[in-house]
Amino acid sequence: MTRKEILVKLRHVMKQASQEHIDWNTVIEDATIESLGFDSLSMLDLIYDIQQEFDIEFEAEELVSINRVSEMVTFLEKNTSP
């Protein structure tokens, strides 16, 4: 997947997990995870949803301290590449 494709898919997963009333199509890579409505608990749920949607396995701790969408995209880019 390209970085852009990952971001589009990630926005969709985040929208399902967050339930925040924001325009997810406008979320940029520089956005912080906290600004998108995720706290320590819902962040864990998001990680699970990412594992399911991207069909990858990793330990929750690998993503739990990430601060920005860009870091998440980079992580997924690295872990979904063939």
Partner 1 sequence: MSKSINRKRVVVTGMGSVNPLGMNVDALWQNMLAGKCGIVPLTSIDLTDYKVKIGAQVNRTELAAALEGIKVRPSDRAVDMALLASSQALADACIMTDEPSDIGTLFGTGVGCSESLYNANTRFAERGVRGLRPTSVPRCMANAISSQISMKFKLTGPNYVLVSACSSATSAIGTAFRMIQDGHASTILCGGSDSPFDPLVFGAWDSLGVMSKNADPTTACRPFDANRDGCILGEGAGALLMESLEHASERNAHIHAELCGYGESSDAGHMTRPSQDGQVRAIRGAVASAGIELGEIGFINAHGTATRTNDECESGSIRAAMAEHADRILIASNKSFFGHMLGASGVAESIVVIEGLKAGIVPQNLNLDDPDPACRINLVADSAEKIDAPVALKNSFGFGGGNAVLVWRRWES
Identify residue 20 by its one-letter amino acid code. E
Q: Which is nearer to partner 1, 2 or 65 (CB)?
A: 65
Q: Footprint of partner 1 on residues 18-37 (CB under 8 A)?
A: 19
Q: Minimum Å distance from CB 60 to partner 1?
A: 5
Q: Which is nearer to partner 1, 28 or 60 (CB)?
A: 60
Q: Which of 5, 45, 53, 62 is in the footprint of partner 1 by CB under 8 A?
A: 45
Q: Binders of partner 1 among 47-76, rule CB under 8 A?
A: 47-48, 60
Kindly determine how many residues on this chain lie close enough to bind partner 1 according to the rule CB under 8 A. 10
C-alpha span between 80 and 82 (Å, rounded): 6
Cβ pair 44, 60 in contact under 8 A: yes
50 burial level (CB within 10 Å; 0-12, 13-18, 19+): buried
Rounded Cα distance, 65 and 75, in Å: 12
Q: Which residues bind partner 1 (CB under 8 A)?
A: 19, 39-42, 44-45, 47-48, 60
